[in-house]
Structure 1
Amino acid sequence: MNTHTPDTIVVGAGVAGLTAAWNLHKAGQSVTVVDPTPGMGASRAAAGMIAAVSEVMYQHHTMRTLMTTSAALYPPLVAELTELLGHDVGYRGSETLDIGAHPADRDWFANLAEVQRAAGMTVEQITTRQARKLEPALSPAISGAFLVAGDHQINPRKLVPALIEALDRDPGFRLIRQRVTAVLRDGGDTGAVTGVTLDDGTDLHATTTLLCPGVSLAGIGNLPEADCVRLRPVHGDILRARLRPGQPPLLERTVRGMVDGRPVYLVPRTDGEIVIGATEREDGFDGVVLEGAYQLLRDAQTLVPGAADLELTEILARARPGTPDDLPYIGRLDGVDGLVVSTGYSRHGILLAPLGGHLAAGLVLGTDSTTEDAAILAATDPRRTSPHISGATV
């Protein structure tokens, strides 16, 4: 095996790990990314909504800041990858429609719109007639519609290979398709991290190790300090469907709906695919649950009756790394030099990837943080549950 020692090892080839690797590459670092199945974890299932407005949560100002900051980083990321590679990387700048199926669902979106507008976000309530003029496939029975012009989408199944393709143009980049079993420690099991051990027994060394492994963090040995990084698997069932031959496009915009209080979304791709999702459950089951799939199919057809005519091509479930306060973990661990952690993005993994990649790379490089970055890093510090660390709000 090549004995080249990179500047940084990135563990995890999902969107979070690869965007961090991309930022490190741009800073002139040599990077090795280690993942047994690149892009096949949570990123594989994600619909890819860049929905900083629609994803607003009540009384969670810190997450709101993370989402809006990260969404603003997508256009330059997409532009530089597109220019370098000369092809589409999966970004689509179409609008989002928030649709309430019934009066209570409409009222839910109306109340959320008040929160969004109070935060300075742009949400336009439109008539159902206007909504159906924009998207004729919407059911004539919908009760309310809200247009979110600033929420867009990216296809993770195009973005992940695009990032790998871009990185692979650097002779200092390596992608190793193996599992990391443990970190290497200088002078035993308590010193600085100096690299990782692979499942074939090979040791890889680097100046810094960046852990972006999602829910797999607990399986990386020799790192007891990571006990403070409290992750839980949040599974989501998600469907993929496709227009049948000869069918006209069903939707141009992302539709995020509420049906009897249940969220559902339909995300149309330019190639005729439509992603339908997504349930949330914490039952520890890695497979697809029939009830979840049935719920998604039923609710999607309530909003867009023509969805019943699509060809169902895939039913998938993946575990997303959830945290107690829904904020990711981006930072260092107490007393552990040579290591940075970036995980816990939960259902916001695609949206937050550019910000997480920027912040994680900055920690690896030791660059000075802006005031805004410093506040976000304080709020996402992996040690924030320690009695010695007080979290910050941004």
Structure 2
Amino acid sequence: MARQQHVVIVGGGVIGLLTAFNLAAEVEQVTLLDRSGLGQESSWAGGGIVSPLYPWRYSAAVTALAHWSQDFYPQLGERLFAATGVDPEVHTTGLYWLDLDDETEALAWAGRERRPLSAVDISAVHEAVPVLGDGYSRAIYMANVANVRNPRLVKSLKAALQALPNVTIREQCEVAGFLREGERVVGVRTAAGELRADQVVLSAGAWSGELLGGLGLALPVEPVKGQMILYKCASDFLPCMVLAKGRYAIPRRDGHILVGSTLEHEGFDKTPTPSALESLKASAVELIPALVDAEVVGHWAGLRPGSPEGVPYIGRVPGFEGLWLNCGHYRNGLVLAPASCQLFADLLLGREPIIDPAPYAPEGRI
């Protein structure tokens, strides 16, 4: 593909930011547009566990992206920190799953996929995590699971892009629709006017389906609200991540403990609610009783881009030359971002793809 490309990316979450980062060295000009501020939606609301919550419950398509990303995240974190001085804090803590109904399936999956997941005695868990609540009887553990501090990752990616002379970032710039010439998409319409491009990439998270609807396409990506809370504790309070009954506690390096999250189908409303706050606090105290006296220093909500089986859309939009998708990552955008954005760059630039792109192709799925 010729180098004199102008690529417009619609959506400035982690997927859009990392797509821009991967393309910037390969194309002449990248313009990144976001309807509000960068990374303020799903990227901000996620916990940042560098694993699907229950990896064995997903299809091979999600697993392939997750494994590539998990292996790549530490070097991405180091590269961004070296380039910007902003550390995304890729923090390897390990993860305990407690009292799973499908523990047997989880262990069988780990054997097939050669992932270091094993059953551990509950007494060993209490030894490793002294603050864990009583009442749990079984556990499985994966040692090499990390979490990334998503707001720092957004900040670091933004700083890296702002340092590049051929990248333009426009926040508070909502895209209203696409410019077309025949079957080709040649740019976007924004409140600030038209912007022409050689290629347009839609990475607009929960808003991607609405935007594609303007072309008469039905992309099954819808907003799914998630709420979480944040505690501040001592830096050594919680040594690793714990997950039970669909709720998790994630330690950051400085002692912040993130507890999440809800799954709510409320359209585009992302108002934090008192009922979710109480539910999350109850889960937090059940997992870690000492949190009953800890102060909640944050409570917020964001909208995830829900998609069938959580399999993202990565590739060309059939019938619309010049239009591409990298969206629909549902609960796993942060987990899958490195692989999704590398695969996307490979496809757009005509390179050998890192993994088989067929499961993610929009063709036949919209």
- What TM-score do you get using the length of structure 1 for normalisation? 0.85
Deviations 1:186-220 (Å, cap 9, x if unpaired)? 2xxx43112112123x1112211111001212443
- Is 1:333–2:320 an aligned residue pair? no
Paired residue secondary structure (2:55): coil
Separation in 1, partners of 2:178, 2:309? 27
The CA deviation at 1:378 is 1.1
Paired residue secondary structure (2:151): helix
Paired residue secondary structure (2:309): coil
Deviations 1:137-165 (Å, cap 9, x if unpaired)? 11233212222112111011000010010
Return 315-324 or 162-171, whichever deviates more: 315-324
Structure 1 residues 199-218: aligned runs within 5 Å: 199-200=191-192, 202-218=193-209
Q: Say how many residue pairs are matched.
A: 360
The CA deviation at 1:46 is 0.7
The CA deviation at 1:41 is 0.8
Separation in 2, partners of 1:314, 1:169? 31
- Is 1:44–2:36 an aligned residue pair? no
- Is 1:256–2:235 an aligned residue pair? no
Q: Structure 1 residues 211, 28: closer, same or farther in 2, change over 3 A?
A: same
CA contact (8 A) 2:176 2:190 kept: yes
Alignment-derived partner of residue 389 in structure 1: none
Structure 1 residues 63-212: aligned runs within 5 Å: 63-100=62-99, 105=100, 107-177=101-171, 178-186=173-181, 190-200=182-192, 202-212=193-203
Q: Structure 1 residues 248, 345: closer, same or farther in 2, change over 3 A?
A: closer
Q: One-letter code of the match for 1:267?
A: I
The CA deviation at 1:114 is 2.9
Deviations 1:213-241 (Å, cap 9, x if unpaired)? 0121244378415x242112222121112
Q: Structure 1 residues 113, 206: closer, same or farther in 2, change over 3 A?
A: same
Paired residue secondary structure (1:298): helix
Separation in 2, partners of 1:163, 1:248? 25
Q: One-letter code of the match for 1:195?
A: G
Alignment-derived partner of residue 299 in structure 1: 283
Q: One-letter code of the match for 1:168?
A: Q
The CA deviation at 1:298 is 1.1
Paired residue secondary structure (1:330): strand
Q: Structure 1 residues 209, 128: closer, same or farther in 2, change over 3 A?
A: same
Q: One-letter code of the match for 1:210?
A: V
Q: Structure 1 residues 210, 300: closer, same or farther in 2, change over 3 A?
A: same
CA contact (8 A) 2:98 2:243 kept: yes
Q: One-letter code of the match for 2:139?
A: A
Q: Structure 1 residues 338, 205: closer, same or farther in 2, change over 3 A?
A: same
Separation in 1, partners of 2:210, 2:133? 47
CA contact (8 A) 2:229 2:258 kept: yes
CA contact (8 A) 2:185 2:320 kept: yes
Separation in 2, partners of 1:384, 1:331? 12
Q: One-letter code of the match for 1:380?
A: Y
Q: Which runs of 5+ in 2 are unaligned?
A: none
Separation in 2, partners of 1:218, 1:66? 22
The CA deviation at 1:128 is 1.9
Alignment-derived partner of residue 223 in structure 2: 233
- What TM-score do you get using the length of structure 2 for normalisation? 0.91
Q: Which runs of 5+ in 1 are unaligned?
A: 387-394
Separation in 2, partners of 1:59, 1:23? 26
CA contact (8 A) 2:45 2:303 kept: no
Paired residue secondary structure (2:141): strand
Separation in 2, partners of 1:58, 1:291? 28
Separation in 1, partners of 2:212, 2:264? 27
CA contact (8 A) 2:205 2:304 kept: yes
CA contact (8 A) 1:183 1:222 kept: no
The CA deviation at 1:118 is 3.1
Q: One-letter code of the match for 1:381?
A: A
The CA deviation at 1:29 is 3.8
CA contact (8 A) 2:98 2:138 kept: yes
Q: Structure 1 residues 271, 286: closer, same or farther in 2, change over 3 A?
A: same
